[in-house]
Chains A and B, each alone.
Chain A
């Protein structure tokens, strides 16, 4: 089961009228093991979100193929659940209903009691029992993102895809959500791909960090193994030589080898 999810020679071109195609990413080869957490990091415009959309099946690659569990990815599906950057909860449904909608669709065989049980279990998993009947507008940004995570996990995906899941949150809330994610991962193993531009987040959460070169024609620059024991403690890690090594490796990649001027 080592070859769980693989990307082979992926290229994504976007047509531009009356000009040559824009090549967002090219030549991406990547193998992801089961229950592995990887981060994809890079400057904006490096095609990391494009890559995630391809894996999610929301977009189609121009070249190459993506294989999950020996099945080629041809479109979106619940076995590849996505946590979107802006949570994407349906504002007219309560926390409970947002998760219920997903579970009901993906597991139609559940009895009403089982359905209720499953939804409640995942609400509890992200510690939102007190807000279960609240509408998205009534809860904070961090809580919304937790619901997004609960919704994604509730449909028992093979891979959890997270597109800059905490990018829109303040740093304290972000830390809190990272803790939630690590705690959940500790009890229920998932294969997770996180798109991020936060160096600390990448090191803290991942087993491997995929570093992307700058676009156009972005590709994988380096892959970093993070050899840190779990559970990880963000405070203690600050002085851990391995943590410091990983951090420096990413920083050097992003700001020395592939520095980018943001206009």
Chain B
């Protein structure tokens, strides 16, 4: 038990050490590549390789210099707003559409080919088209996320509906449930865990998409911030950005997983 815990802490630490070693090696070979210590200083402040005292980018993530120069917190917040905007839209459209496709064979025949074709399209392919339509950074980013994160929600919702056992539907038939009662009392409870699986996948995709979308649209947001640091030749900040994007994505996934478990009847009452 205790050794298990010790392993869980020690083994990742060993891998971390290896990663830092490899990173240092790369920094040694590639000119201007930031070393781990450069990156640490850039993040948390201190004296950099040139001997200058600098303030880290993480020292004050809440600063607002002007509209175009804000702390990392605001960058992340801006990205999250877009992600949740697009994600919420995908949910509002995707769940009812998924329910429809799951319940009606005709709807499945009608929509399935298009889902299969649009699902594998890279978000970056949509971006220019949407930018042309909306001529607005926020709208473009949100609609790109919408259009790429809606597919897992539709597919999983439909799958959830189809997994409703015939027996439950027979119970509903004997009790003469109305279609609405069938949806809310039988289909949704079964489909909810599937819907959440879809939402979790969608949110993951949305977070992947936002970084790329913001690089192209510019303005504000963590994706643009990373691109901006590249233009500033502040390569250590790119690495900081990558770690932050990873951490935020991880947190989103964990939170989504917890919410999903809360609504999943199969995970209840098994104390």
A75 to B268, CA, bound (A): 35
A135 to B189, CA, bound (A): 14
Question: How many positions in chain B have a CB within 8 Å of any CB in the partner chain?
Answer: 19
B230 interface hit (Cβ, 8 Å): no
Given contacts A105-B175, A106-B175, contact A88 B266 (CB under 8 A): no
Neighbouring A residues of B173 by C-beta, 8 Å = 57-58, 75-76
CB distance from A90 to the nearest CB of B (A): 6
**Among the interface residues B170, B174, B269, which one has the most CB atoms of the partner chain A within 10 A?**
B174
B168 interface hit (Cβ, 8 Å): yes
Q: Which residue of B lies closest to A94 (CB)?
A: B269
B266 and A91 contacting across the interface, CB-CB below 8 Å: yes
B171 and A90 contacting across the interface, CB-CB below 8 Å: yes
- From DSSP, what is the main secondary structure of chain B's interface residues? helix
Neighbouring B residues of A75 by C-beta, 8 Å = 173
Given contacts A135-B268, A137-B270, contact A88 B175 (CB under 8 A): no
Please provide the chain A residues from 223 to 254 with a CB less than 8 Å away from any CB of chain B in the complex. none
CB distance from B69 to the nearest CB of A (A): 51
Neighbouring B residues of A193 by C-beta, 8 Å = none
Given contacts A86-B167, A88-B167, A91-B266, contact A56 B174 (CB under 8 A): yes
**Chain B residues packing against A (C-beta within 8 Å):** 165, 167-168, 170-171, 173-177, 181, 185-186, 189, 265-266, 268-270
- Could you list 23 A-B pairs, sorted by A, with CB under 8 Å? A58-B170, A76-B174, A76-B176, A77-B174, A78-B174, A78-B175, A80-B174, A82-B174, A84-B167, A84-B170, A90-B171, A90-B189, A91-B265, A92-B189, A92-B268, A101-B175, A101-B185, A105-B175, A105-B176, A135-B268, A137-B266, A137-B269, A138-B269
